[in-house]
Amino acid sequence: MPFVRRIGHHKKGLYDMTSSQPGNRSERAKSRSPLLRVLGSIDHALGIVERVIIAGGVLAMAALMSGHVVGNLLFSQGIPGTYEVTEMLIVVITFVGVGYAARNARHISMSAIYDQLSGRWRKALLILICLGTAVLMFYFAYKSIGYVAVIQERGRSSASLHIPLWLVYLALPVGFILAGAQYLLTAVRNLVSDDIYRAFNQKEEYDELPPEADEHDDARRDT
Amino acid sequence: ETWRFGLEETEGSVQYGYAEEFKKLIEEKSDGDITVELLPYGSWGSNYSALYDAIQNGAIPLGFGSGFLGGTVPESQLMSLNFVMPNDQLETAEILNSDDFLKSDAWQESFRERGLVPLATLPEGYQVWTANKEIRTPEDMENLQIRVMDNSLLRATYEAYGASPITIAYGELYSALQQGQAEGNIQPVFAHENMGFYEVQDYMIFADQSQFIANFIGNEEWYDGLSDEQREMLESTLDEMVQKGHDIQSQFNSERLETIKENSDINIIHLDESEREAFRELAKPVRQTYVDMVGERGQKALDIVLKHVEQSGDKAE
Amino acid sequence: MLTWLAVIMLVLLLLGFPMMVPLAAGTLFMMFTGMTFFGPDQAVSWMINGIGSWVLAAVPMFIFAADILTKGHTANRLLDVVDAFTRHIRGGLPITTAASCALFGAVSGSTQATVVAMGGPMRPRLLAKGYKDDFTLGLIVNASDIALLIPPSIGFIVYGVVMKTSIGDLFLAGILPGLMILAMFALYCYIYSRIKGIEAEPRASWRERARAIRRVILPMGFPVLVVGGIYGGFFSAVEASAVAVAYALLLEVVIYRQVSIRDLGSLALSTGMITAVVFILVAIGAAFSQTLGTAGVPDKILGPVIDGIGDNQFLALLLIAAAFFVGCMFVDPIVVILILVPIFKPLVDATGLDPVHVGVIVTLQAAIGSATPPFGCDIFTAIAVFRRPYMDVIRGTPPFIVILALATIILIMFPQISLLLPSLGGD
Ligand code: NA
Ligand code: NA
């Protein structure tokens, strides 16, 4: 039996990001609380902005770095500022990504004990985790606002293109606030609903059975 | 009372030698009231901006800022201009530590606007070129892919010589020189030795175009909070340190050069005055680039240095 | 104080707080209790400066490249060629999995990408053939380690830059150890299959094999391009990661036409999020390690040990391996390399160890650590991709970790395995 057919095409990236969205929409429609509905719309809009920044950042990095290499090889002239812009992109992707990963419940954690719990205890622990993490995120947001203000006032800029660095460092408060809000929202949602939500828009679920060989493709990759 | 002193270099470096001597003098003069704690590279982080942040926020009130300080204090890039300082290294140290320059409004304001105070200047020895071919004229440097930091002024300088400067991360530099991605390199002697760059280069060229210069800086609030007595003690120590710093630097670099000579058969070239003249002419317009980049204060600071250089009779113009 | 620090961090970790929380809490604890003179303002600076580093750009770029190849045809082509040559052996299917991970390692710099690219298609086949899921998951998660030893490798790049060692030499040094571990895994798979009585698959025809080989000629341009480009002085190791992206695009978008321009957006998003999840740990980890350093903790713990070792190279390597192994149990390998390499550099210098050989040992521990509980990025990747609970994913790992520990000992005892290729390739 030819193997190629079976492993077929992979529709999604390494982890799937976008697939939770359609589910979310129906999720939002179902929820009756007006508070959750308003929060949901704001949340949705912010999610789009985050996606554009993160994906744009990665694409820009790839284009800039490979353009730099090509320039060096063909014209003995790289793109000035490649190094510092790349470093700035890393900062932006990382901190905006902190918010985005919180939205998708993708922050790395060690869930062995959590997995052993069920029912009310499980939910209580999840709420504790969300609230504790939210507090930390808001604290870092507060601290980084102070840092950005100082850098702005003192006018630090990059060495090659003289880009004001406070603009780049804005990614910290933005990302931390977004992440803090996500954790807070998740806690709220768990408090007001019966199910367990790993993120504001994501109900918790594991596959009950190992997937069958023939249908492992897309369904399994949705998370 | 503890004075923390952050260094951009590790133990066994020019900055460390200077700081040890500084520590000894301060602790003696204060009769042990003050302890100076040295924090070499690594102990405050590994990215220079983290040190400048620590000096600016006061966690480390004293520290060095050299080539990377340009983002934080743009005017400080005066120190990387080529063919501005006199040929004599001690004379350079004296001019850059004179009240006329160091205490000038232009220089003080440049730092104070960023919450810093310039305390002294430590030239750490000439920036030396290396390459795999002889470089005596700008023609020799034509299109040479010489490695510079990702810094617009340095790039302008080497483009003025006709080179094609290439940016490589410091950590990747050895590999890049070894594999030929970069064809030349600019470092103080001790860095060539310490990082083994000389092992993968054939020529070492002393053009005496500029030194590697560190600014000794303090936190503004901390400095203004010193008692008169303490400030006097600091000033007198810094005066003594000009000669000592020069001695430390010269000895250190000559030892390192000896090591390089012992361990390799790298060709060492010293450009003569007429050869230097060709590069000097090409470097002159870059002064304007510097002024355009940093503004009027930079112009004033540059003028003070040039005035002194002229008085000293050494040929810099 | 130190005990409290450890307890707080461990409790937060075990309760299941996101990994960034224990690291941040540890940092703030040291700052608020006066163990260090630095305050939270400096923590923000360290976070930014910890990730605002050129070398780290290799991480998203290699993940992006692997992501493109996984979505497109390349990953499958690599699997097919291995499959055609190994599936008739007893244990052929798991051996195919391990060997494919190694081969994918040649086009990918990250273990997580390998888990997805090779584990995704192989797991259902293994399950269908009767292999238990704990064995299957353990195999996938651990065999992906090999990708970190086969160039290109994020582990070697980060180590090389921190240690200021030739990354080209490190790349060459990883190849034989990677193949050695592959051989050890293959042996284990063979024995396991024999014991479980799982039959082999039918042998592939030479026609099928020839066809499979033809189909991987272009993908095999990857290692040639990346390693050749670095050795030829065309670009640096970090820049090579962007070249890998460009080549992946050339293959999948232009030649195979399996990935559309539109797909690139979602692939980039996926890459960006994986990067962020790791880099926030690098950022907070940088603040944590600096705080720990100024609080004098590493000196307190390691000082006496290092004194005791003197210039015994074997003990020094054993200590380094143990420290990195334990570190990688709890924290992301990239974070561990960034934190521990500067701490151990003086020991390496003092004992006269070859930094390239140390790099292989360190990167191997980083690779092992990606799959060791409690904290392992490959475990989390497997949880996310296969949607299995944590305990299910780690249940099958112990035999593999024993094998990898054995490999570490062998490599410590025989540095030649690492150093043979660099000595031929260098100069
Ligand atoms: Na690899
Ligand atoms: Na681990």
> Residue A42 has what pLDDT?
86
pLDDT in tens, B47-74: 899 999 999 999 999 999 998 999 999 9
Closest ligand to the CA of C152? 1
State percent of chain B over pLDDT 90: 87
Mean predicted confidence (pLDDT) in C216-223:
86
Q: Is B225 on the interface with A (CB under 8 A)?
A: no
Task: Locate B231 and state its tokens.
Answer: 């400030």
Mean pLDDT of B211-237: 96
Strand duo B147-148 + B166-167: pairing: parallel
Please tell me the pTM assigned to this model. 0.89
CA dihedral B303, B307, B313, B315 (to 10 degrees): 10
Cα C359 to ligand 1 centre (Å): 14
Contact between residue B73 and residue B200 where contact means Cβ atoms under 8 Å apart: no
Mean pLDDT of all residues belonging to chain A:
80
Per CB-CB distance under 8 Å, the chain A contacts of C205 are none
Using CA atoms, how far apart are residues C212 and C81, in angstroms rounded to an integer? 5
**C305 or C21, which is more confident:** C21
A35: distance to nearest CA of chain C, Å?
Answer: 27
Please give the pLDDT value at position B313.
Answer: 67
- The pLDDT, as a whole number, for residue A1 is 29
Distance from B81 to chain A by nearest Cα, in Å?
15
- Count of H-run helices and E-run strands, chain C: 24, 0
Other beta carbons within 10 angstroms of residue A195's beta carbon come to 10
What separation in angstroms does the CA of C167 have from each of B64, B184, C2, C57, C103? 30, 19, 36, 15, 20
Which residues of chain C make contact with B42, given a CB cutoff of 8 A? 293, 342
Q: Which two tokens stand for residue A150?
A: 């100082």
Search chain A and give the residue with CA nearest B163.
A76
- Rounded Cα distance between C380 and C33, Å, is 33
Cβ atoms of residues B214 and B278 within 8 Å: no
Q: How many domains does chain C have?
A: 1
CA distance A205 to chain B (A): 42
Does residue C366 lie within any of the structural domains? yes
Instruction: Find residue B128's DSSP bridge partners.
Output: B187
Identify whether C283 is part of a domain: yes
Report yes or no: C215 and C34 within 8 Å, Cβ to Cβ: no
- CA B285 vs. chain centroid, Å, equals 21
* Nearest CA among B51, B67, B55, B24 for reference residue B119: B55
For residue C150, the CA-to-ligand 1 centroid distance in Å is 4
- pLDDT tens-digit series, residues B173-216: 888 898 889 999 999 999 999 888 999 999 999 999 999 999 99
Q: Given an 8 Å threshold on Cβ–Cβ distance, is B195 in contact with C164?
A: yes
- CA–CA min distance A129, chain C (Å): 5
Residues A86/C54, Cβ–Cβ less than 8 Å: yes
Per the document, the length of chain C is 427
Does residue C42 belong to any structural domain of this protein? no
| Residue matched to tokens 């702005």 | A152
Between chain A and chain C, the number of residue pairs with CB atoms below 8 A apart is: 271
First and final CA of chain A: distance in angstroms?
A: 30
Q: Which two tokens stand for residue A113?
A: 């004990």
ipTM: 0.91
Q: Which contacts (CB < 8 Å, 24+ apart) does range A173-176 have?
A: A173/A141, A173/A144, A173/A145, A173/A148, A174/A95, A174/A96, A174/A99, A175/A94, A175/A95, A175/A96, A175/A97, A175/A98, A175/A99, A176/A95, A176/A98, A176/A99, A176/A137, A176/A138, A176/A140, A176/A141, A176/A144
- DSSP strand pairing (B62-65 vs B211-219): antiparallel
User: Tokens in use for A119?
Assistant: 């029912």
Sign of CA dihedral C394, C398, C400, C401: positive
B125 closest CA partner among B13, B246, B227, B239: B246
Contact C268 A58 (CB under 8 A): yes
- Output the pLDDT for position A206: 59
- pLDDT of A22 strictly over 60: no
What pLDDT does A223 receive? 31
Question: Could you tell me if C336 and C324 are in contact, meaning their C-beta atoms sit under 8 angstroms apart?
Answer: yes
Are C71 and A12 a contacting pair at CB < 8 A? yes
Rg of chain A over Cα atoms, rounded to whole angstroms, equals 21
Residue type at C410 in one-letter notation: I
In this structure, which amino acid lies at residue C296?
G
- Tokens 């990346």 identify what position? C226
- Is the CB of C160 inside 8 Å of chain B's CB atoms? yes
Chain A residue numbers with beta carbons less than 8 Å from the beta carbon of B166 are 72, 78
Give the chain A residue whose CA is nearest to the CA of B153: A160
| Cα–Cα distance measured from residue C366 to residue C337, given in angstroms and rounded to the nearest whole number | 8
Distance from CA of A133 to the nearest CA of B (A): 26
Q: Which of residues 98-137 of A touch C (CB under 8 A)?
A: 98, 100-101, 104, 106-116, 125, 128-129, 132-133, 136
Report CB contact under 8 Å: C270, A12.
Answer: yes
pLDDT confidence tier of residue A32, bands split at 50, 70 and 90? low
Report whether C189 contacts C94 (CB < 8 A): yes
Beta carbons of B304 and B84 less than 8 angstroms apart:
no
What are A122-150's pLDDT values in tens digits? 999 999 999 999 999 999 999 999 999 99
Is the pLDDT at B295 greater than 90, yes or no? yes
The pair of structure tokens assigned to B118 is: 């310039």
Check residue C359 and give its pLDDT.
95
Q: What spacing in Å lies between the alpha carbon of A169 and ligand 1's midpoint?
A: 32
Give the other-Cβ count within 10 Å of B1's Cβ. 8
The Cα C165–Cα B175 span in angstroms is 8
Per-residue pLDDT at C252:
93
The model's pLDDT over B5-14, given as tens digits with 9 standing for 90+, comes to 999 998 889 9
Which residues in C177-272 belong to E strands, given as ranges?
A: none
Average pLDDT for residues C34-50, to the nearest whole number?
A: 93
Percentage of chain C modeled with pLDDT above 70? 99
User: Residue C271's domain spans which residues?
Assistant: 49-426
Chosen for mutation from B66, B144, B150 (greatest number of chain A CBs closer than 10 Å) is B150
More confident residue, B204 or C102: B204
Q: What is the mean pLDDT of chain C?
A: 87
The SS3 assignment for C424 reads helix
Does residue C30 lie in a domain region?
no
Nearest to B174 among C46, C164, C238 (CB): C164
Residue A110: per-residue pLDDT: 77
Q: How far, CA to CA in Å, does B280 sit from each of A103, B76, B157, B203, B309? A: 58, 21, 11, 21, 15
Cross-chain Cβ contact B167/A159 below 8 Å: no
B115 vs A contacts (CB less than 8 Å): 154
How confident is the model over C47-84, as pLDDT tens digits? 999 888 888 898 899 889 988 988 888 888 888 888 88
Mean pLDDT lowest among B37-46, B273-282, C291-300 = C291-300
Rounded CA gap, C256 and C253, in Å? 6
Distances (CA, A) of B84 to B174, B210, B283: 30, 8, 9
Asked if the Cβ–Cβ distance from C164 to B57 is below 8 Å, we say: no
Q: What is the DSSP string of C272-335?
A: HHHHHHHHHHHHHHHHHHHHHHHTTHHHHHHHHHHHHHTT-HHHHHHHHHHHHHHHHHHS-HHH
**B236-249 mean pLDDT:** 97
Instruction: Name the residue of chain B whose CA is nearest to A157's CA.
Output: B71
* C169: closest chain B residue by CA: B175
SS3 B120: strand
pLDDT at C56: 87
Looking only at the bridges linking them, the beta strands covering B203-206 and B267-270 are: parallel
**Among C145, C173, C199, CA closest to C333:** C145
Cis peptide before C346 (omega within 30 of 0): no
Q: Which residues of B touch C166 (CB under 8 A)?
A: 174-175, 178
Q: Cβ contact (<8 Å) for A159 and B71?
A: yes
Tens of pLDDT, residue by residue over A64-114, are 999 999 999 998 889 999 999 999 999 999 999 999 999 998 887 877 788
Is C390 within a domain?
yes
Residue C257 has pLDDT above 60, yes or no: yes
Q: What is the pLDDT of residue A49?
A: 95
C59 CA to centre of ligand 2 in angstroms: 18
Which residues from chain C sit within 8 angstroms of residue A111, using beta carbons?
Answer: 16, 383, 389-390
3-class SS letters over A33-89: CHHHHHHHHHHHHHHHHHHHHHHHHHHHHHHHHHHHHHHHHHHCCCCCCHHHHHHHH
**C144 alpha carbon, closest ligand:** 1
pLDDT at A222: 33
* Residue range A45-70, pLDDT digits in tens: 999 999 999 999 999 999 999 999 99
Quick one: what percent of chain A has pLDDT higher than 90? Answer: 54
C399 by Cβ neighbours in 10 Å (0-12 / 13-18 / 19+) ranks as: middle
The number of helices, as runs of H, and strands, as runs of E, in chain B is 13, 10
| Residue C203 φ then ψ, to 5° | -65, 145
Residue with tokens 């680039």: B289
DSSP string, chain A: --HHHHH----S-SS--TTHHHHHHHHHHH---HHHHHHHHHHHHHHHHHHHHHHHHHHHHHHHHHHHHHHHHHHS---TTHHHHHHHHHHHHHHHHHHHHHHTT-S-B--HHHHH--HHHHHHHHHHHHHHHHHHHHHHHHHHHHHHHHHHHHT-B-TTT--BHHHHHTHHHHHHHHHHHHHHHHHHHHHHSSS-EEETTEE----SSPPPGGG-SHHHH--
Of the candidates C378, C393, C400, which has an alpha carbon nearest to the alpha carbon of residue C334? C378
Is C23 a member of any domain? Answer: no
Tokens for A141?
Answer: 């947001």
Does residue C138 fall inside a structural domain?
yes
Cis peptide before C121 (omega within 30 of 0): no
The answer to whether residue C234 is domain-embedded is yes
Of the candidates B43, B46, B171, the beta carbon closest to that of C294 is on B43
Residue C99 CA, ligand 2 centroid: distance in Å:
22
User: Which among A77, A83, A155 has the least Cβ separation from residue B150?
Assistant: A83
- What value does the mean pLDDT of chain B take? 94
Query: Is the Cβ pair A159, B113 closer than 8 Å?
Result: no
Contacting C with CB below 8 Å, chain B residues are 4, 42-47, 49-50, 53-54, 57, 59, 168-172, 174-176, 178-181, 195
- Residue C144, pLDDT score: 87
pLDDT at A205: 67
Q: Alpha-carbon distance C61 to C72, whole Å?
A: 17
pLDDT tens, position by position, B80-118: 999 999 989 999 999 999 999 999 999 999 999 999 999
| pLDDT, greater one: A57 or C140 | A57
What is the least distance, in Å, from the CA of C51 to any CA of chain A?
7
Strands A202-203 and B166-167: unpaired
Higher pLDDT residue, B67 or A223?
A: B67
Question: What is the per-residue pLDDT for C367?
Answer: 85
- Beta-sheet strands, E only, within C79-206: none
Chain C residues whose CB is inside 8 A of the A100 CB are 272-273, 276
CB C13 to CB A110 under 8 A? yes
Contacts of A159 in chain B (CB under 8 A): 68, 70-71, 149-152
Query: Which chain A residues are closer than 8 Å to B111 by Cβ?
Result: none
Q: What's the pLDDT score for residue A207?
A: 53
Pick the residue from chain C with its C-alpha nearest to B59.
C38
